[in-house]
Structure 1
Amino acid sequence: MLHTGIQWEYLPQELGFGSGMTCWRRLAAWNEAGVWDALHLVLLKKLRAARKLDWSRAVIDSSHVRAARRGPKADPARSTAHGRAVSTTSSPTARASRSRCR
């Protein structure tokens, strides 16, 4: 549902999850109860314990999803004017080539 963008009302009941409204209510209740945050922490703990996390390929993603019906406004972004932040896009490895624009 969240991956394809299908509307809740068109969720196939043959999947056995109930109506689209039932699924929407469950998702909303789980979000409110913090189920996803707790699940994320459990998975991270298990992966760390098994040494299965490879942070050498970590990526920070700034994508976002539009809030339907004008969700709550986000806090304003903090200014970085007083100091420079470490670049999250640069690589510590040498560049293969560099072209010059003239």
Structure 2
Amino acid sequence: MTCWRRLAEWTRAGVWPRAARGSARQGARCERPGLLSCGGRRLPHPGVKGGPKTGRIPVNRGRTGSEHRLIADATGISLAATLTGGNRNDVTQLIPLLRAVPPVRGKRGRPRRRPDVVLADLGYDHDKYRRLVWDLGVKRLIARRGTEHGSGLGTQRWVVEGAFAHLRWFRRLRIRWEIRGHIHEAFLTLGCALICWRRLRSL
């Protein structure tokens, strides 16, 4: 119970987001985050009661689940991660993810507050959100539906897929067991911080 109380108290105090932002800033100093990739991965939630930030997953026979949303820089370091219901459309989460990216200081100059380019797959193909991304001053490279030979973005978007693979190393993040959404978000941000810390330690 002591561990549970500490987890809940630190979550309410905002410890985990601050730790994740701090580690992301340190990791991104190695290379300015001019190129970002975003994506989402659904995960089941076996709890009968469901809970906040859950929804019926259309591709999983309507079972209840959640989804991890992630935006990573060109080196695969996650700069922002969120939790949403499994029924939320990918494209609606693009702007919140971009706005969640913290300012990152490079080798010289003022902290960078936005990337140059964002890469996204077909799930983010919508003219309205293309305009919203452009209004933020970010160039968008988003795959278009109906492209005959594919978008070719996979040669660069693999870094965000690798970031999701690293998150799956943590068994706690493969399935959402927590009914409280903020508790699972705490584990998600802690996982991102640990991955970044391991990357920094290996440099």
Q: For the superposition of Structure 1 and Structure 2, which TM-score range results when normalised by the shorter chain? A: 0.3 to 0.5
Normalised by the length of structure 2, the TM-score is: 0.25
Relative to total residues, which structure has the larger helix share, 1 or 2?
2
- CA radius of gyration, larger in: 1
Relative to total residues, which structure has the larger strand share, 1 or 2?
2
